[in-house]
Structure 1
Amino acid sequence: MALLQTSLIWTTGVVALVILAGVAITFVSIYSSPRERSLFVSFVTVISLTSLLATVCLLPIDIALVSTTTDNTTGTKKKWADPDTVNNILLSLKVVYYLLYSLDAFMCLLAMPFAYFWYEEWDIDSTTGSRIRGALKYTTAFALLVLVLFLVGFFIPVAAQRTGHEHYDLDYFRRLLLENRGERALTFIVGVLLCLGTVLYAVYTAPGLALFPVSLIKSIPAISITSAEEARDALAINRERQRIIEAKQIGGGAFSPKDKRDLENLQREERTLTRKQRLADEGKNRWWLKLQAALRPFKLLLGLILLGISGLLVASMLITGIDKIKYSKCGARCGYILTDVNIFNPINWIFVQSSKVFPIDYVIALLFVLFFFVSTVIGLAYIGIRFLWITIFKIRSGHTKPQALLMGTVLLTLSVLAINYGLTMFVAPQYSHFGGQKYCTWPLNEPHIIRDCSKHPEHLHPCSAGATGPAADVCTPTVVSTFINRITLNYPFFGVFAFWAQFVFIGLFVITAITALVRTPKMDFETQLDDEDEAEEESLLGATSHRFRGAWEDVRGSTNRG
């Protein structure tokens, strides 16, 4: 039975990995610019995306595997779940986690910088050797950064050594304090990347979590009879304005600099409107546009449901934050680790209740993880790659430069670490730590003896870090929760930073949601593209539409070109 259950879960994970690889290939082919596509850059991007998607989807597998070790009707370990078997399951999970985290770090800190500079080194006179040497020269700085982080993590004292006069009462936390210096170094590197990812998580995922449902609520069919009529009317007005300006020259007058600029702008706008009208007229009889219009009510309903889910997620995060501030036994000294859920958390409750029917809770967990990841992609497509207020690259369907693909993938990779932290420590902390596992405390007069609770279900309790004695042997924590708790316990400054960043996340979500529902920002087309055809296509995609629709079309990878 043990082999069958674990094999089924791992097989599901392998199938998901194959699907994710296909998603990564599709993503790169849709978003990359055909005129500037690089085979090497595309290959590195696909491998990186597949790795980070696998990392995201490993959390539900982790929860599923540890949950299978406990019989939730009796509150005891299953017969096959002896210590050796459980340790083997945890070891296999730990190996996969370390491989994926190491691959993510390698791709993020070395492979993608190398691919970036490899592409930048190209010119007419360049050779393969010169490009490799140039890329290695610049990538050396990143290699030195990794070495410095490893050495700092190797020698920096952890919390247990720095605060020797303090102690943690729970065995669960004492076991998390590191003694192995190699593992300590890896933990420190992941902690640094976690903090960087948390910043990106707040900047991109929070707005994306609000924009995703709002874009569904406010979206309309991209080409419709109304848009064709609007284009026709705008074209008539445009040509009339051109006629008025040209009449000045016919009457013997001279063009002023302002008239010349206005005429050039009107001529560019005329080309865009003419093409927009033609595509709109051609699209009236296209079946998928009719289907899109017919599905509009369902799209609106889905948007409302997702908006409600987003609000529930953020409310659960706020509740957990308050719970940690009020009930964390060690506060900032251990990164606000929480032993038990003391305030009702709706998302955590939903997971615990759904765990009664296999495998509903695992499916919901996977959907939540993917919801956060897709929201990050939408936030990235909407905001673009920026440094402060300066836009460096934009993520657009069919127009994304190779450098933008690489940088966007780096941002997504770092965000994945923060997504794992947010789900594990804030959204559903108790469930993410122990899944649907339960332990029994019957008889009441012998609290240190665990017995069969099948006849006394009222004495079944969800597993938590506060479970001590024999209950601690029944409850098996997930590998990801152990790893994250190890980071925050050994290096509390990482935990404190990630903790307070969640409140910034909540604030940005609320601001974006309110702004998006009340007022729709418009697309900014002040930046002109060098290629006139691309400029016309970009204007066609959104010159008279709203920013939400343009961002949503980019995320879906659909264009309205004939």
Structure 2
Amino acid sequence: MAGVLLSSLIWIVYAVVIAILLGVASIFIYIYKSPRESSRFVVFVCIITITSLLATVLLQPVDVALVSSTNSSKLGQRKSWASQEAVDNILTSLKAVYYLLYGLDTVLCLLVIPFAYFWYEEYDEVATQEGEQTPGKRIWAAFKYTIGFLVFAILLFLIGLFVPTSSGSERDLEYFRRLLMENHGERTLAFALGFLITIGTFLYVIYTSTGMALFHVSLIKTAPSILSPGMGSSASSRLEANRERQRQLDARCGGDPDQLSSKDRRELDVLVREERTLIRRQRLIEETEDARQTWFVRAWHKAGAALRPFKRISGVLLLLTTLVVWVSMLLTAIDKASNSVCKRSCGYILGHINLFNPANWAFVRAAKVFPVDYALFTFLVLLFFTGSVVGIAAVGIRVFWIKIFQIRKAHTSPQALLLATAMLTMITLALNYSIAMIVAPQYATFGPQTFCDKQPATSYLTAQPDCSHDKDLIKACSEIADNPAAKAICTPSVVSTFLNRVTLNFPFFGVVFFWAQFVFLGLYLVVAVIALVRTPKLNERQLDEDAEEAEEESLLATSARQVNRDWQAAGDESSGA
């Protein structure tokens, strides 16, 4: 009864977190989507996908809490209610939820997002108004383009079904032998997940490392605003100097540009383009200043000014937190490289922790009081997720060096939102591996579980050893502990078992996952040092793009009003006639 109540409480906390995640995903999408170009279907797909992928990662603390609830860490024994049947029921329920979420992530990433992308691309406003494009035709056109992704997904699962796995003949460890004994369905899912994590790992290394380095630095060192002192006067003085130089050239040629030399004509053309840009910039600054006169905007800016010191303090705290995580990842990576039981042949699986890991230690301690570890874990996941978003916004969606889409607040097109969501899905799958296997491996595998390292009077199947009077014999659980008590009492989490199965059956994936962590750590360090040393500047190019876009919107609005007036006038004349 106690086990059922505890399990129910843990699942209730998870349900509450899912509801919060839904709100976080919605806020993220509505902050970045463009009001001019928007699609409810695209927004819905993005929100559901982000919620699903965050729910997948944040199932880890639930996994750890449920398997740890069967163990009394103070006594090193299983609790009285935790029979093998009860433990198996917990593991079965967790596996069902994991398979559901992993399957949903795969379907959303490989099928639903491509369909939504092509569905939006197929929209033709003129053809729709004239009745040439019906919803059925639009859906069929999008589905035809999505068939390629469907074929790819089927091939991916077929390859996972028939590809040979590592035999494990060189490893005589019971834990690893158990990981190799799974059915073909689990092996197929393991291969598909390993492939997606591999793609996500490359994105994780580039975008997440960059974004995490820039995120806390942006809180500490803020770039100047469009309304910063001197911005308006600088634009005015540059505009005045520009017009003065144009007057000089105009006087030189008597108003006929053809009389100028080729060099002067090129200069005049540059001055004319620069004048248009400066006029747009000046108009944008004036409009922003006018908008600032409203009470809400004034209150918002005053609140931001009042909270600026706290913003910098939070930036410093985030920097320190990230450094602790960085050091923890480095220590675990060194530990794996030095002490992995089978190195590259099993994807650098680590038997037990040999080097002190501060993040792992903090999570194991916090796991003794649920949901403290859940709160810390959620904070860590959102930190990595925010870093990924910042990285995608800073680097942009690129094919090699060519920028395809840009992610900006209130300026992101539906196509860019879908692609960014697909990238975040694969990045989060890679993050799932990094947190479980690199940041806090002991926590993600066994949590605070312990076992009593004492020989019982009878078999472990009938009696458990008692260490209540000798606390020194209580030891933390480990994957390859040879003590029979550890095998009988310790229950590994479902996520660690599944990820270890991926790297053990397909060592190539494990090798890529492992060495990518060193690249991640190195790239983060380089970007963080450069961002801390460099003085932030206003992005004038982005400012000019915003000014040009604002001018286009103003012209479109003016044209629409004129068309409406003409249409109404024509209607009045027709009715009068």
Structure 1 length-normalised TM: 0.89
Alignment correspondent of 2:570: none
CA distance in 2, matches of 1:230, 1:524: 11
When residues 431 and 19 of structure 1 are mapped into structure 2, their CA distance, relative to the original with a 3 A threshold, is: same
Measured after TM superposition, the shift of residue 314 of structure 1 is 1.5
Contact 1:271/1:536 (<8 A) preserved: no
Alignment correspondent of 2:48: 47
Name the SS for the 1:391 alignment partner. Answer: strand
Measured after TM superposition, the shift of residue 375 of structure 1 is 1.2
Alignment correspondent of 1:453: 467
1:293 aligns with 2:305: yes
1:504 aligns with 2:507: no
The share of aligned pairs that are identical, in percent, is 48
Name the SS for the 1:476 alignment partner. Answer: coil
CA distance in 1, matches of 2:285, 2:502: 54
5 Å-filtered alignment, 1:315-394, equals: 315-394=327-406
CA distance in 2, matches of 1:222, 1:55: 38
Q: Which letter does structure 2 place at the counterpart of 1:67? A: S
Superposed CA deviations along residues 243-290 of structure 1, whole A, max 9, x for unmatched, are 332354356254424213313322322331343255347638712212
| CA radius of gyration, larger in | 2
5 Å-filtered alignment, 1:269-308, equals: 269-277=278-286, 279-280=288-289, 283=292, 286-308=298-320
Superposed CA deviations along residues 33-76 of structure 1, whole A, max 9, x for unmatched, are 12221122222212211211211211121122122111111111
Alignment correspondent of 2:533: 518
1:426 aligns with 2:441: no
Measured after TM superposition, the shift of residue 329 of structure 1 is 1.3
CA distance in 1, matches of 2:223, 2:410: 21
Alignment correspondent of 1:540: none
CA distance in 1, matches of 2:550, 2:475: 61
Contact 2:21/2:55 (<8 A) preserved: yes
Q: Which letter does structure 1 place at the counterpart of 2:95? A: K
Q: Which letter does structure 1 place at the counterpart of 2:549? A: D
Name the SS for the 1:132 alignment partner. Answer: helix
Superposed CA deviations along residues 189-218 of structure 1, whole A, max 9, x for unmatched, are 111101001111101111112111111111
CA distance in 1, matches of 2:19, 2:170: 46
Contact 1:223/1:289 (<8 A) preserved: no
Larger deviation, residues 34-43 vs 190-199: 34-43
The gaps in structure 2 that reach 5 residues or longer are 128-132, 258-264, 554-577
Alignment correspondent of 2:130: none
The gaps in structure 1 that reach 5 residues or longer are 538-562
Larger deviation, residues 483-492 vs 288-297: 288-297
Q: Which letter does structure 2 place at the counterpart of 1:197? A: G
Contact 1:272/1:536 (<8 A) preserved: no
Name the SS for the 2:451 alignment partner. Answer: strand
Superposed CA deviations along residues 318-357 of structure 1, whole A, max 9, x for unmatched, are 1111111111111111001011111111211222233344
CA distance in 1, matches of 2:224, 2:135: 47
CA distance in 2, matches of 1:121, 1:531: 30
1:263 aligns with 2:272: yes
Measured after TM superposition, the shift of residue 117 of structure 1 is 1.0
5 Å-filtered alignment, 1:171-210, equals: 171-210=174-213
CA distance in 2, matches of 1:405, 1:366: 24
Measured after TM superposition, the shift of residue 440 of structure 1 is 1.8
Compute the RMSD of aligned alpha carbons. 2.5
Alignment correspondent of 1:131: 138
When residues 408 and 456 of structure 1 are mapped into structure 2, their CA distance, relative to the original with a 3 A threshold, is: same
Match of 1:215 among 218, 229, 238: 218
Contact 2:215/2:390 (<8 A) preserved: yes
CA distance in 1, matches of 2:429, 2:540: 32
When residues 246 and 130 of structure 1 are mapped into structure 2, their CA distance, relative to the original with a 3 A threshold, is: farther
Superposed CA deviations along residues 100-132 of structure 1, whole A, max 9, x for unmatched, are 100000010011111111111222323323222
Count, aligned residues: 531
CA distance in 1, matches of 2:219, 2:3: 43
Structure 2 length-normalised TM: 0.86
Name the SS for the 2:403 alignment partner. Answer: strand
